[in-house]
């Protein structure tokens, strides 16, 4: 009897699994809210230098003060970072609203001096009541701090993956999930009440760490309590919960325009998740592997009772459990490290190509998804569109992988994404509809690329080192997400350079993906030697046993989504 048979005995798709998966999936929706929260809490409102003290005390209207205080930029809009060194009263005289000729005629060669915004900035808050930009004046010389905030958050995601990944294997999925819920709730709440940008970044780093713990342990608890035959379906549905979360964020942000209240709105629910998560059962698989068979048996009997199979559950004992786990762990013997990913020629090439695929996919994805204002369209609308496009994108790439193959699907999604980003550089900024449509196609292709590389990578790496391989490429993805916001700063020097990098990276990695072997219909490799002997494009038919192993692989890949 294998562990899967024991799970069937206590009820593998009963009331417990339905409630268990549902309660675990609800927080996944708000994970997207924290990932993309920067789009709204750090939105840059229209701004310009505040008026001189003698002008602000006058009886002039805001429009008149703006006219005599702030020069126009090359686009004919009020300059965001400079003002006149002295008020230009004559500009009012030219419109007949003040004493004519007080400062002379500028057309006669009047020399005008400019200065920085020494008295601060004024913001047009018609779209939002406040953002971290307006509260802490992260504009002009400090504008790079906006991107730094998102980079710090992604750094927390990276550190959290390393920390929680190790701790969950040692102390269990349930307790680490509880800690992650609490950390997210506390860090998010503290971020909302931050009195400085430094404190805000510190607490956002905590949110990033919590997000990794949430993702890793949520998917672990889901896949380890459901049977192989439904893991792919449940995993797909869980992925769509994240997609729905992107739509929920746009809805919440539309009605909550203050960044502090918005941060609270997406953080406080985690206190509720923390409270009800005490009901969660620890993974019996982990308990058995961790030499706690007595607790594993009690947990299985509790699940059997919940599913109305109390008598079947009482038949389970420690001996039966140990026998089942021997079979499940039979292929896990041996000690391997990340270095084994680079020791042999084909493994080395494969790992380098997959690293490029993961890094560029994440890099370009967050480069597009985290800069919605540049399209000149309502950010609430484009957030909904960007979230909704993931639904058809994932359906199309799933069909493509099944009928065309993994390699052309992976390569094609990346190349098309890169081409659309590069074409967008050639479209004039006033063609907002065309620019938005191209960006939506590109973002959809990158979402499809993510969907593909999770499965493709797991099929390429051999069983004995699959988790190490997935851990490595996942780290590459997080590194790409950290770098993406900082590339936007290059646009201050060369406006088209960020777009060139965001578009070029997926194209180059799409070409690199061509050098990966096709895995559609091929048997899963078990050893590094299998990989070295595998011919590119081999298409031998899978055995029924390998089909089951592949389904287990797909489930394990979902756990690496953190």
Per domain, the residue ranges of the chain are 342-530
Q: Which residues of 306-323 are buried (b: 16+ CB within 10 A; e: fewer)?
A: bbebeebbeebeeebbee
Residue 107 pLDDT: 40
Residue 52 pLDDT: 76
Residue 398 pLDDT: 81
Distances, alpha carbon 288 to alpha carbons 305, 372, 549, in Å: 20, 47, 20
**Burial status of residue 30 (CB atoms within 10 A of its CB: 0-12, 13-18, 19 or more):** buried
**Tens of pLDDT along the chain (562 residues)?**
566 677 777 777 778 888 988 899 899 888 888 988 988 998 888 888 888 776 766 667 777 788 888 888 777 778 888 888 887 777 776 554 443 333 333 444 446 778 888 888 888 888 888 899 988 988 888 888 888 888 899 899 888 888 887 787 778 888 989 999 999 999 999 999 999 999 999 999 999 999 988 887 887 788 778 776 776 677 778 778 888 888 999 999 999 999 999 999 999 999 999 999 888 888 887 787 777 878 888 888 888 888 787 777 677 777 777 776 665 555 445 566 778 888 888 888 999 999 999 999 999 998 888 777 777 778 888 889 988 898 898 888 888 888 888 899 999 999 999 999 999 889 888 888 888 889 899 999 998 898 888 778 877 888 667 767 777 888 888 888 888 888 888 877 788 888 899 999 999 999 999 998 887 777 767 677 777 776 544 444 444 444 444 445 444 444 444 4
Q: 405 and 520 in contact (C-beta within 8 Å)?
A: yes
pTM (2 decimals)? 0.80
Residue 2 pLDDT: 65
Cα 503 from chain centroid? 19
Q: Which long-range contacts (CB under 8 A, 24 or more apart) does 485-490 make?
A: 485/147, 485/148, 485/150, 485/151, 485/154, 485/366, 485/367, 485/370, 486/147, 486/148, 486/151, 487/363, 487/367, 488/147, 488/367, 488/371, 489/144, 489/147
Class at the top of the CATH hierarchy for domain 342-530 = mainly alpha
Q: What is the CA radius of gyration of the chain?
A: 28
Strands 47-49 and 83-84 turn out to be: unpaired
**What are 488's two structure tokens?**
């936007």
Residue 111 pLDDT: 60
Residue 335 pLDDT: 63
Residue 539 pLDDT: 40
Q: 79 and 48 in contact (C-beta within 8 Å)?
A: yes
Residue 94 pLDDT: 57
Q: 147 and 485 in contact (C-beta within 8 Å)?
A: yes
Residue 204 pLDDT: 94
Residue 535 pLDDT: 52
Q: Measured between alpha carbons, how far is 132 from 40 in angstroms, rounded to an integer?
A: 9
**DSSP letter assigned to residue 283:** P
For 23, other C-beta atoms within 10 Å of its C-beta total 15
Phi-psi region of 46 (alpha: psi -120 to 50; beta: other; left: phi over 0): beta
Distances, alpha carbon 378 to alpha carbons 43, 297, 373, 386, 481, in Å: 12, 55, 8, 12, 24
Q: Measured between alpha carbons, how far is 120 from 122 in angstroms, rounded to an integer?
A: 7
Q: Measured between alpha carbons, how far is 33 from 36 in angstroms, rounded to an integer?
A: 5
- The angle at the Cα of 560, spanning 557 to 562, to the nearest 5 degrees, equals 145
């Amino acid at each position: 009897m294998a562990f899967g048979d024991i799970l069937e005995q206590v009820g593998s798709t009963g009331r417990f699994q339905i409630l268990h998966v549902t309660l675990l999936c609800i927080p996944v929706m708000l994970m997207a809210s924290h990932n993309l929260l920067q789009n709204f809490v750090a939105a840059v409102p229209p701004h310009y230098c505040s008026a001189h003290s003698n002008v602000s005390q006058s009886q002039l209207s805001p429009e008149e003060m703006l006219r005599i205080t702030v020069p126009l930029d090359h686009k004919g809009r009020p300059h965001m970072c400079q003002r006149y060194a002295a008020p230009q009263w004559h500009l009012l005289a030219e419109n007949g609203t003040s004493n004519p000729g007080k400062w002379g005629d500028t057309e006669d060669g009047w020399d005008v001096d400019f200065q920085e915004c020494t008295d601060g900035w004024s913001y047009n808050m018609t779209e939002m009541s406040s953002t971290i930009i307006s509260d802490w004046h992260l504009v002009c010389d400090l504008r790079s701090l906006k991107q730094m905030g998102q980079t710090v958050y992604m750094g927390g995601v990276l550190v959290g993956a390393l920390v929680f990944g190790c701790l969950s294997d040692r102390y269990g999925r349930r307790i680490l999930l509880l800690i992650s819920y609490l950390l997210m709730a506390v860090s998010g709440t503290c971020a909302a009440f931050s009195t400085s940008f430094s404190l805000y970044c510190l607490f956002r780093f905590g949110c990033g760490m919590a997000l990794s713990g949430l993702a890793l342990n949520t998917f672990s608890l889901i896949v380890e309590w459901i049977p192989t035959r439904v893991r792919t379906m449940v995993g797909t549905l869980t992925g769509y919960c994240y997609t729905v979360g992107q739509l929920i964020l746009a809805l919440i942000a539309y009605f909550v325009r203050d960044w502090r209240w918005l941060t609270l709105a997406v953080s406080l629910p985690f206190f509720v998740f923390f409270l009800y998560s005490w009901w969660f059962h620890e993974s019996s698989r982990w308990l058995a592997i961790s030499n706690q068979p007595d607790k594993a048996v009690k947990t299985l009997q509790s699940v059997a009772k919940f599913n109305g199979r109390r008598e079947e559950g009482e038949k389970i004992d420690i001996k039966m459990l140990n026998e089942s786990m021997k079979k499940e762990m039979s292929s896990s013997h041996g000690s391997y490290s990340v270095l084994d990913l680079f020791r042999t020629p084909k493994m080395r090439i494969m790992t380098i190509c997959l690293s490029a695929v993961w890094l560029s996919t994440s890099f370009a994805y967050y480069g597009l998804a985290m800069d919605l204002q540049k399209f000149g369209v309502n950010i609430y609308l484009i957030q909904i569109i960007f979230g909704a496009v993931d639904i058809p994108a994932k359906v199309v790439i799933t069909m493509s992988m099944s009928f065309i193959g993994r390699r052309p699907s992976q390569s094609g999604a990346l190349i098309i994404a890169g081409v659309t980003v590069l074409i967008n550089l050639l479209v004039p900024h006033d063609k907002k509809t065309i620019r938005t449509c191209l960006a939506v196609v590109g973002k959809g292709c990158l979402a499809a690329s993510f969907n593909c590389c999770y499965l493709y990578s797991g099929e390429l790496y051999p069983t004995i080192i699959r988790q190490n391989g997935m851990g490595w490429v996942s780290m590459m993805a997080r590194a790409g997400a950290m770098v993406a916001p900082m590339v936007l700063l290059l646009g201050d020097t060369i406006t088209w350079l960020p777009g060139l990098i965001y578009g070029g990276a997926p194209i180059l990695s799409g070409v690199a993906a061509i050098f990966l072997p096709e895995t559609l219909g091929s048997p899963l490799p078990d050893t590094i030697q299998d990989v070295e002997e595998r011919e590119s494009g081999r298409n031998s038919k899978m055995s029924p046993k390998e089909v089951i192993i592949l389904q287990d692989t797909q489930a394990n890949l979902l756990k690496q989504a953190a």
